[in-house]
Amino acid sequence: MRKMKTFTVISLLCALSGVFGYHVTKFRSYDDNTKDAYDIMDILMRPRTPDRYLPQSYFQKYGGGRSSRLTAFSYKNCGDPTTETAKLLALQITPDPIVLPGNVQLAFNVQNLKTAQSPIQADVTLKKKILSLWVEIPCIENVGSCSYSDFCEVLAPVQCPPAFTENNIPCQCPFPAGNYTLPSTQFEISLSNIPTGDYSGQIDLKMGSDPIACYEVEITLG
């Protein structure tokens, strides 16, 4: 439950930090697929000017139009809300763009209709906007656009922030049915290795064949 929210913001930022942190790690030997992944990372590591600061002539030159420009933080359901058991009713994050390192103000409301427990399958997709295209960030050493057979194992070492504990919001499996609300809370995020630009993150959660939730967010780091 917390996964969909935190991935949308804090976990998304931490995941991106992990991806760009792993970029400096050198493999002892390279195969073609590994080299391709690192070539892509070389491009993604470059700071990009967010869409909102670019003139319309830029989009006319490189494709895309005004409707494809990312101008604000957004989130949306990417599954079937009629069959999902966890529903993100509200999500707010400021400032927009996010400036790192710095403080992020976060609030959310989640309704969990059914206890979610191990094993929970998670498909994570991270992308960065390059020119008019969303370029997928590769999965490197289990960080990035990866699939996890049991996301509970990923969450097991997570230390729950005090604000979550105070509001009875779980950070590890299982996630009991119930309503979970985080009032507007400030988080200090010290990450400094994520290049500026526009990013999107999607997480699709399932328990067996039953969908839990699928959400996508688009954020700008400025």
CATH number at residue 89: 2.70.220.10
Single-letter amino acid code for the residue at 191: L
Report the domain count for the chain.
1
d(CA 205, CA 215) in angstroms, rounded, equals 9
- End-to-end CA distance of the chain, in Å? 28
Look over the chain and give the mean of its residue pLDDT values, rounded to a whole number.
87
Residue at token pair 């049915």: 177
Q: What is the H or E stretch that residue 81 is in? A: none
d(CA 168, CA 10) in angstroms, rounded, equals 18
Distances in whole angstroms, Cα of residue 210 to Cα of each of 71, 120, 162: 34, 10, 31
**pLDDT confidence of 1, banded at 50, 70, 90?**
very low
Q: What is the pLDDT of residue 204?
A: 97
Provide the residue count of the chain: 222
The per-residue pLDDT for range 173-214, each reduced to its tens digit, is 999 999 999 999 999 998 888 899 999 999 999 999 999 999
Q: What is the H or E stretch that residue 44 is in? A: helix 32-44
CA–centroid distance for 216 within its chain: 8
Q: Which domain holds residue 9?
A: 2-221
Say yes or no to pLDDT of 113 above 60. yes
Say yes or no to pLDDT of 22 above 90. no
